[in-house]
Amino acid sequence: MNQAKRQSRKLGWRFVVYAVVVIFVFLALLRNLWVDVYFIPSESMEPLLLSGDRVLVSRTSFAGSPIERGDVVVFDGRGSFTPLNSGTAPVAEGIIGAGQWLGLVPNNNIYVKRVLGVAGDTVKCCTDGGLLEINGVPVSESYLYPGDEPSALNFEVTVPQGKLWLMGDHRNVSLDSRSLLGAPGGGLISTTKVVGSPFATVWPLGRLHVIDSDTKLP
């Protein structure tokens, strides 16, 4: 009888171990192939994303469809936004903690910004009316943080093939592609570095909602 009980306990513990392993493997596949969780520690994408938000990011957002102006993207900033010298403080605001096991472990190479220019676009700021201009067309940006101007820094850039020009919605506090003009890469990031797009805020509970970032620009 005692031997049967010991055998039953062993089988029970083995089942628990196997179940835990299966769950972790499933979560790892989920994170790397479909959906990940990210923590927002900065104000650079307000009012769309608030500091302290945890958001779900779809890794399949752009599968079979091109990245367009107005899209909000999560991307790997290594080689562009992230300083090559590890001893230097980050030069681009909007770093987000990667969702390594529910967003608890930070990854300072990951950023979130809005796409303002795709391949072939000329992005300029600002017009006489104080607006951003894309391919000669003034753009009214409804997503900007209230009271912010499109850019305190004047610039004009033409986006090469396979690259993106990115800016935060809270322009007065966002360090983005504008801040890296003159640096290697000129603040442009490769489309291959895009991880996906945020589609829902899951924490805090009072902020639980689907993210409406579907803003198409001319």
pLDDT in tens, 183-209: 878 889 999 999 899 999 998 999 999
Instruction: State the Cα–Cα distance between residues 140 and 144, nearest whole angstrom.
Output: 9
Kindly give the residue spans of alpha helices, DSSP state H, lying in 64-170: none
pLDDT category at 1 given cuts 50, 70, 90 is: low
Q: What is the DSSP string of 76-93?
A: E-BTTTB-SSTTSPPSSS
Give pLDDT, residue 215: 78
pLDDT reading at 68 higher than 90: yes
58 shares its domain with 149:
yes
Positive or negative: CA dihedral 168, 172, 178, 184: negative
| Residue 168: pLDDT over 90 | yes
> Residue 19: its pLDDT value, please?
55
Domain with 3 in it: 1-33
- What pLDDT score does 92 carry? 45
Q: Do 29 and 45 fall into the same domain?
A: no
Q: Are residues 85 and 180 in the same domain?
A: yes
* Token code pair at residue 102: 């529910």
pLDDT at 3 over 60: no
Residue 218 counted as domain residue: no
- The answer to whether residue 156 is domain-embedded is yes
**Does residue 112 share a domain with residue 27?**
no
Question: Is 215 contained in some domain?
Answer: no
> What pLDDT, on the 0 to 100 scale, is given for residue 15?
59
Provide the 10 A C-beta neighbour count for residue 186.
15
Give residue 218's pLDDT.
76
pLDDT score at 100: 41
> What distance, in Å, lies between the first and last C-alpha atoms of the chain?
77
Instruction: Give the span between the Cα atoms of 44 and 168, in whole angstroms.
Output: 5
Quick one: DSSP state of residue 205? G
In the prediction, which pLDDT does 105 show?
Answer: 43
pLDDT of residue 70: 94
**Number of C-beta neighbours around residue 194 at 10 A:** 20
Q: Are 110 and 96 in contact (CB under 8 A)?
A: yes
Which residue in 132, 134, 50 sits closest to 94, CA to CA?
Answer: 50
177 among known catalytic residues: no
Rounded to 5°, the CA angle 72-37-49 comes to: 40
Is the pLDDT reported for residue 91 higher than 50? no
- Are 168 and 160 a contacting pair, CB within 8 Å? no
Distance CA 56, CA 215 (A): 19
- Contact partners, residue 117, CB within 8 Å, separation at least 6: 69, 123, 134, 157, 159, 164, 165
Nearest to 216 by CA among 65, 76, 80: 65
Q: Is pLDDT above 60 for 86?
A: no
Which pLDDT belongs to residue 90?
39
Q: Is 58 a catalytic residue?
A: no
CATH code at 133?
Answer: 2.10.109.10
Q: Dihedrals φ, ψ of 10, to 5°? A: -60, -45
Q: Is the pLDDT score of 171 beyond 90? A: yes
Which one-letter amino acid corresponds to residue 55? V
Statement: residue 59 has pLDDT above 60: yes
Q: Which carries the bigger pLDDT value, residue 37 or residue 137?
A: 137
The reply to whether 15 and 67 lie within a common domain is no
- How many domains are contained in the chain? 2
Percent of residues, the chain, with pLDDT higher than 70: 72
Of the residues 80, 113, 124, 151, which is catalytic? 113
